[in-house]
Structure formats: C-alpha cells, structure tokens
Amino acid sequence: MSPLRARSIQSIVPACLTLSAVTAPADFSRDIQPLLAEHCYACHGPDAKTRKSGLRLDLREGAMSELKSGSRAIVPGDLEESEIIHRIFSKDPDEMMPPPDFRKGLNNEGREKLRAWVENGAKYEQHWSFRTVEKPEVPTVRNGNWPRNPIDNFILSRLENQDMEPSSEASAENLVRRISLDLRGLPPTLSDLKRFAPTLASSPVGRETKNAPFSPEQYSELVDAMIDSPHYGERMAQDWLDLARYGDTNGYHNDSVRDMWLYRDYVIESFNQNKPFDRFIVENMAGDLLPDADNTTRVASGFNRCVTFNEEGGADPDEFYVTYAVDRANTTGQVFLGLTVGCAQCHDHKYDPISQKEYYQLYAFFNSVDGEIGAGGRTGYHGKPLPPLLKVSTASHKKKQAALRARLEASTAALKAARERPDFTNPNGNLAPALEEWIASLARAESDILPVSGGLQLHLEAGSFDAPGGLVREWPDLSGHNRKAIATGEPKQFGKAMNGRPAIRLDGENDFLRTATGAEDLSEDFTIALVMRFNDLARHQMALM
C-alpha cells in the first residue's frame, strides 16, 4: 500500500465508522445493486468485452477474488482492506471511482450505502423473486387487538415502523363499493347496496361492532355475487390484455383495423369460467397445436398474433419479420417469467440471470414461424386481413343459427305434410276458402295503406291518376287542400313498380316535385310519411325534401 493510500484510508475509515452506528444494514437488491449497475457495471459488470482490470462486481465471487495487484475489491467487514472503499472515497483523480470523466459520479449518499454494506458483511443476495420461497415469521405488533389474521400483522408492523395507524373502518356502503370496483370494475348498483349494505357491518371480515356483526359468510356472499357477474371477466381481462398488447388495429403509421376482438372475448370468458391457469397458458401459447384443438383454442393462440404490423409500402419485410419475433420473445418473458428479457437482446442482463445467448435461444422459437408476413410493400397487405385467418361464429351467432335451422326444419316438415294432404292439388277442396280469405286480406290492406287518414295536409298517391304517356306533369293532391305537385324534369309513372303497386320514378338529379308550402297549416309539429326505394344505393343521398 502506498503512503498516499495509507493516509487516505486512515482519514476516511474513522469518519465512516462513526456513521456506521446509526446506519441500517443495506438490502443488496434494493440499495446496492442499482448503485453498482449505474456507476460500476459499465467497466466491472457482466459484459466481458468492456470489463476492466479483471474485476467483476455483479457476482460475489468476482468482487471478492484476488486481483492482479494482490488486493481485493471487497473484503466483507473490513473497510481498510476493501479496495472499493478506498476508490469511492478517494479525491485523487488517478485513484477515484467512478473516474472523473464517467458520465455520472457517485454522491455521498451512495458512498455511505456502499460503505455500510461492506462493513456489515457485503452480503450478495438474489432478487426476492429468484430466492426459494420460505415462510416468514409473523411480526409482533404493539396493537395486538387490531390484526384478524397473520397478514394484518405484516401490514400493521410496517405502519407502526412509520409511526402510522390503520385507517378507520369502512362503512358497509364503502365496502360494497370497493369490492364492486375491484372485482367488476363498476360501481355498485342501488340493488347491490339494498341487498348487501343493510346486512353488513362497517368493517371487513369478522369484526364485532356496536352496530352489527359482520361474518365471513356475509363477506363471501358479497364477493361471490361480484364474481358471478359477467363483468368480472371484463375487469380481470383488462390487465391480461394489456400484457398481451391487445388491440383491434395494426399500429404503425396507418393503424388500420384488425379484428382481434374474438381473442378479447376468449380471455373474458376464460375468467368467467374460472379456467385453470395452466390450461389457459397452454391455450395462449399453442392452442392451435393441441391434439384436441378447436376454434376456441385456435382463437386463444391469438396471444402471439397481438403484434403490431407495418403496412408501409417501403417497409422491408425481412426487417419486420425480425421485429415481430423480438416482440414475441420479449412479451413471453415479461408475461410468463415476469422478467425484462429484452435487455439481453444487446448484452447479458445486468440484473436478471439471463445471458444474451439464452435470449436468442428463446428468440429462435419465434424466428421460425411459418407463413409470417413481414410487412406491407410488395406483399400487398394494405388494410387487408393478415393470414392465417379463421372464420369463427360467436355464441350469439350460433344461437341464432340454431334457431333458424329449427324454424327451417319445422317449415320443411309442415310443407311436406301439406303436400301429402289429399286436397293439396284440388282447387275446389279445403284450400279454396283460405285462398279467398287471403285475397280479401290483400284488398283490405290496399285500403288500409295509410297510417293516418284524417287531418292530412298533403296526400299524394302514385295510382290516383293516369299520366299521359307515363310522363308526370302534375300530381293531384287527395287531401282536399288542392296542393297539387308540379313536376320539373321528367318524372315517370309506372303501373306496377313497388310490390305490384304504382309508383313515380325520379332520376335523383333533375326530377323534382314542388307543391304549395302550406306553412300556415304546419306551424305546429308535423309528420311526413314517404314510401320510396333506391335503385342505386350509391346515390341514396340524392333524396331531398
């Protein structure tokens, strides 16, 4: 050790030791690893290509092994022998770490955290999600009357450590509201409050109050009622659909429509059916490859179809083929592993135990998808459905189809039975009275065509006059107000144009019918009834009254 270094350590360590008595032990994953990643890993981290001096701080073995200089970066519990302590507190630009030209220096708070961590044994710990699950000890609390179950002890312990107290108990109405919003995503209805609030006490799960007892059975009944609602699946599906990057558009510049709502409905129904999670995952990842695959499981595999698609004409299909594979690999890691595996696309992960090699092993699964459409451009997919496609009938459609099939079968059977009757072909048989009655009903309908007969201000009927040569010049008014319609252009009269009845045809451009306004009689509310048919649907906007 050089004299300069010896003097530096001697001046630093006493000050540090003075502070150590009041500094709590640091948690590695929460307090230390972020500091090392931000200030040290660039030169002493997982990337072997950028690592300097053979020092690797992201692993305990590397941080505590002997370096070429004979020193060790970290000696647990020994501040004087730990090179890292000397370097982070040094004022010498040739010694200090991070170097003066590093993008971000270490502040005093960070130095003290590292010092306290080394002094307390420099314990390396994995993130809690990678540790073996162990049952923790239930913490003791000062207010022993408040907890109803062990979970309450953990909550109250944290509150007491912060000199805080639990909130006051919720009213019955608030409890119903909270549960409804949490499980259905909707506020409770008045009927919900009438059903549950009068029987609920003002607290959750089992507390005796001055008002009334609230039993676990009552709470369970309330929760079950919310879960039985079809809105439960809608609420639960929201988070999953966000993770699955669900959307009914392609994204990118055009953002055109894509029909993915069947996948949304599948997720909602899965929650409402309380489908086992393992089955749900299998269907999402490979529902189209199952031995018993059906349209439902094929729709479930839409999880991997929820990827943005670039329709731009100049987009390179090969480039976006890779982009989609990366998106699927990253999404799979985030959703099913809870990890940001995408960091390993460019380098070994700084936090999680995922190497760049392992990332591309996962990526390879999605890079071998058959029939993937990379982008628009020469593939011609502009605003078109992206293959592979699946035609699926919804539950409501299937119900309607079944009802129509039943009606068709019944009608077919009735027709067959009628044809087998002996009087079916006999015009003088039993069918004649029915035929005559039917013809008479048509005649009655002819006379009852008007929805209103009295008080008409204008009444025009196409069959009330004969137009010479079929060309209409005047159209008489049958209301008695003599507001005949004067024709402009060449409207034509046809004898049997609409359902066997006369009609006047206008071309939609030059043909008009004008009458006296009659405004003096239409100062109050009025109704216009018009029977018309468009020969050209593309020109339906040409009707003007």
Q: Return the pLDDT at 396.
A: 84
Q: Return the pLDDT at 186.
A: 96
Binning pLDDT at 50, 70 and 90, where does residue 504 land? confident
Average pLDDT over residues 146-166: 94
Q: Return the pLDDT at 35.
A: 92
> DSSP 3-state assignment of 503?
strand
Mean pLDDT of the chain: 82
Q: Is the pLDDT of residue 379 over 50?
A: yes
Instruction: Determine the length of the chain.
Output: 545
d(C-alpha 301, C-alpha 294), whole Å: 11
Per cent of the chain over pLDDT 90 is 38
Q: pLDDT tens-digit profile of 235-250? A: 999 999 999 999 988 8
Bridge partners, 494 (sequence order): 503
Q: pLDDT tens-digit profile of 268-289? A: 999 999 999 999 999 999 999 9
Bridge partners, 512 (sequence order): 488
Average pLDDT over residues 359-368: 93
| Consecutive H or E run containing 362 | helix 356-366
Give the range among 133-147, 226-240, 498-512 with minimum mean pLDDT: 498-512
CA proximity to 66, closest of 50, 83, 79, 85: 83
Cα 402 versus chain centre, distance: 31
Binning pLDDT at 50, 70 and 90, where does residue 195 land? confident
The pTM score is: 0.62
Find out whether 206 and 215 touch, Cβ atoms under 8 Å. Answer: yes
d(C-alpha 542, C-alpha 545), whole Å: 10
Residue 111 or residue 17, greater confidence: 111
Q: Distances in Å between the alpha carbon of 370 and those of 187, 321, 374, 466, 508?
A: 46, 11, 11, 70, 53
Find out whether 56 and 45 touch, Cβ atoms under 8 Å. Answer: yes
Q: Return the pLDDT at 522.
A: 61
Contacts of 117 (CB under 8 A, 6+ apart): 25, 26, 28, 31, 32, 123
Return the domain boundaries, the chain: 3-130, 172-228, 415-448, 468-542
Residue 434 or residue 537, greater confidence: 434
